[in-house]
């Protein structure tokens, strides 16, 4: 059974990987672990068990020294976020952790989605992060969908190396379909292709951190809600 803790660990690993391939780093302050994502000029606080001003204040100071333009905090739903509001953080949409066996989304067509490591249309921070798909051994794959030759959607699949083959938890991150391309099967194709890729890499289950808008699609394709999280942001510009 997939737990929220396992999903959070996977998410942390993914963000650390993105930091590593874009010249970022991780650091710790009192009861707080941070990831610096330089491509996005973003500092991320990863799932603290308790919010302590003694940990938040030096983390923000270091973020400003690095040139962060924004700060994002991911929290377990059981952790109180009130101390963050004193620093000016605001709550965002509540993320929904969902999980499915890899064979559930594979029942649907993946024809529109392919592994696409270097899409020409991707630019800026997204392009810098494409380096995550070039690691050896391979643990991350970038997927795209296209319609009439145009990019319509994209997603990442991340499967950490497993100690026991066939027992890994694979993550789907950054799944997005353009507004004009929704409800045309592209989201379904990305989920299905991601499931196939994850299964080939040794995963037996999938996890996705779905926004409320995408939760309905995921539920219709075999994903079940296992828990809710919290995300807060602070604009430093």
Phi, psi for residue 36 in degrees, rounded to 5: -105, 120
Beta strands in the chain (DSSP E): 25-29, 32-37, 42-46, 70-76, 90-91, 96-101, 113-115, 140-147, 150-158, 168-177, 203-210, 224-235
Using the predicted structure, report yes or no on whether residue 133 has a pLDDT greater than 70.
Answer: yes
Do residues 156 and 134 make contact, with C-beta atoms less than 8 angstroms apart?
A: no
Do residues 44 and 66 make contact, with C-beta atoms less than 8 angstroms apart?
A: no
User: Mean pLDDT in the chain?
Assistant: 94
Do residues 21 and 14 make contact, with C-beta atoms less than 8 angstroms apart?
A: no
Domain ranges of the chain: 4-95, 98-228
State pLDDT tens for residues 171-214: 999 999 999 989 999 999 999 999 999 999 999 999 999 988 88
Which range (1-5, 37-41, 57-61, 215-219) has the least confidence? 1-5
How many other β-carbons are positioned within 10 Å of the β-carbon of residue 217? 18
State pLDDT tens for residues 33-42: 999 999 999 9
Using the predicted structure, report yes or no on whether residue 118 has a pLDDT greater than 80.
Answer: yes
- pLDDT band per the 50, 70, 90 thresholds, residue 136: confident
The rounded distance, in Å, linking the Cα atoms of 209 and 6 is 12
Supply the pLDDT for residue 230: 94
Q: Per the CATH hierarchy, to which homologous superfamily does domain 98-228 belong?
A: Gcn5-related N-acetyltransferase (GNAT) (3.40.630.30)
Pair of tokens at residue 112? 């529109």
């Amino acid at each position: 059974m997939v737990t929220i803790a396992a999903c959070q660990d996977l998410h942390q690993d993914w963000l650390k990987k993105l930091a590593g391939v874009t010249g970022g780093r991780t650091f710790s302050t009192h009861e707080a672990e941070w990831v610096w994502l330089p491509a996005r000029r973003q500092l991320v606080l990863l799932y603290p068990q308790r919010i302590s001003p003694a940990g938040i204040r030096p983390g923000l100071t270091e973020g400003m020294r690095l040139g962060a333009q924004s700060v994002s905090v991911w929290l377990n739903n059981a952790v109180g976020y009130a101390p963050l509001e004193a620093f000016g953080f605001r709550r965002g949409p509540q993320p929904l952790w969902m999980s499915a066996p890899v064979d559930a989304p594979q029942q649907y067509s993946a024809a529109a989605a392919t592994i696409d490591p270097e899409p020409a249309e991707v630019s800026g921070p997204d392009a810098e992060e494409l380096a995550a798909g070039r690691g050896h051994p391979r643990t991350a794959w970038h997927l795209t969908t296209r319609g009439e030759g145009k990019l319509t959607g994209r997603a990442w699949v991340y499967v950490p190396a497993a100690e026991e083959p066939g027992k890994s938890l694979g993550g789907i991150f950054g799944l997005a379909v353009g507004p004009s391309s929704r409800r045309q099967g592209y989201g379904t194709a990305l989920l299905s292709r991601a499931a196939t890729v994850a299964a080939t890499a040794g995963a037996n289950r999938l996890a996705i951190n779905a926004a409320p808008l995408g939760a309905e699609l995921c539920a219709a394709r075999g994903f079940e809600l296992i828990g809710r999280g919290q995300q807060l942001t602070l604009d430093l510009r």
